[in-house]
Structure 1
Amino acid sequence: MPQSVPSDHLLLEFSLLKFDGMTRIVAALGDELATRAPALPGANTPYGILNHCLGMMRRWSSTVNRGIEIHRDRDAEFTQVGPVAELLARAAGVREEFMTDVLSVDPAAAPVFVPEGREAFWAATTNGVLLHVFEELCQHLGQLEITRDILIANAENHQP
């Protein structure tokens, strides 16, 4: 059973709302459309977008905020494919791990490991890092919504 979000963690709740919206889109698209990219230069598949967010969330919540290394291959996140059911099962696990990470740190504390070249204003606290994750989830949800719309329109018009 999923953890509930404490009422004083509004940013976590907003982040999970965006994340849950992404998982619903990928689930609704199914294996065929979720693993297809629009015929646009550099376009990503819905599967790849969600898969990337799984790695991004864990990197920032665990490696950066807690110092627990999460290995990832960022470039491969966008190109990996497989059954949507498996991706959604991993997403459910990442959602729980993300919540555990966020709820186990003091929001005002400094992150344990901040990658070089990051803006000090948001990387100074674990809550700032969570704000960055929220920003990324919003951006990728929008990307996923546009990608979905293109794929559905093309499928309805029988285009690749």
Structure 2
Amino acid sequence: MIDTETYLRFCDEALLGMRDLVLDLGDDLANTRPDIPGANSPFAILTHCLGVVARWASTVNLGQIVPRDREAEFLAVGAVTDLAADVDRMRTSLRGWVARTNPQAPPVNPTTGRQDWYAATQGGVLFHVYEELSQHRGHMEVTRDLLLAQARGES
């Protein structure tokens, strides 16, 4: 059984933390990739997280298709104020999707070609959403630290 309000509070903490991180960095640093092969910018990581939330909480769980271009998420650049507004809209959307979720039911639009154990129920899918948010929040924090060190000439 999922305590909806607690679950949403955890997701909000992650999303708000990532939103505030890009706002604090500003447009230039938030759109910069650290000098590490394969690294992503904080802007791209947060854009990816918004795609993750929509895909799993809506498209997979409820069958409400939210268009997504996963590869483009990692190339995303833009104004952090626009991304912050996207985060706030996603928080509202997530609240609605979670309210319509039946934690014990199977997803309406299950992942194809994958045998993810967590995707057996809508509740498992929601835990996966939070897992991704928390992992990527950590990635963003490390990325921020690297970018700030680079900006200070410490890299």
TM-score, length basis structure 1: 0.89
CA distance in 2 between counterparts of 1:8 and 1:87 reads 25
Q: Which residue of 2 aligns with 1:67?
A: 63
Q: How does 1:106-125 map to 2 (within 5 A)?
A: 106-125=102-121
- The 1:128–1:93 alpha-carbon spacing in structure 2 relative to 1, beyond 3 Å, is same
Amino acid at match of 2:6: L
Residue in 1 that maps onto 2:51: 55
Q: Is the 8 A contact 1:51 1:77 kept in 2?
A: yes
Whether the 8 Å contact between 1:12 and 1:130 is mirrored in structure 2 is no
Identity fraction in percent: 45
What are the superposed Cα offsets for residues 88-145 of structure 1, whole Å, 9 maximum, x if unpaired?
1111111110111011122222110111243453112111001111111111111101
Cα separation, 2, equivalents of 1:82 and 1:8: 32
- Which of 37, 56, 70 is the aligned partner of 1:41? 37
User: Is the aligned partner of 1:15 residue 2:7?
Assistant: no
Compared with structure 1, are the counterparts of its residues 151 and 120 closer, same or farther at alpha carbon in structure 2 (3 Å cutoff)?
A: closer
Amino acid corresponding to residue 32 of structure 1 in structure 2 = D
Unaligned runs of 5+ in 2: none
Q: How many residues align?
A: 154
Is 1:31 aligned with 2:61? Answer: no
SS in 2 for 1:79: coil
Aligned position for 1:84: 80
Whole-Å separation in 1 of the counterparts to 2:22 and 2:48: 13
- Match of 1:13, SS state, is helix
Alignment partner, residue 128 of structure 1: 124
| AA at the equivalent of 1:64 | V
TM-score, normalised by the number of residues in structure 2: 0.92
1:6-39 per-residue CA deviation (whole Å, 9 max, x = no partner) reads 9644233212211211111111111010000001
8 Å contact from structure 2 (residues 27, 80) kept in 1: yes
In the alignment, structure 1 segments of 5+ residues that lack a partner are: 1-5
CA RMSD between the two structures: 1.8
* Deviation of the 1:60 alpha carbon: 0.5
Q: Does structure 2 conserve the Cα–Cα contact (< 8 Å) formed by 1:64 and 1:111?
A: yes
Contact 2:111/2:119 (8 A) holds in 1 = no
Give 3-state SS (helix, strand or coil) of 2:34's partner. Answer: coil
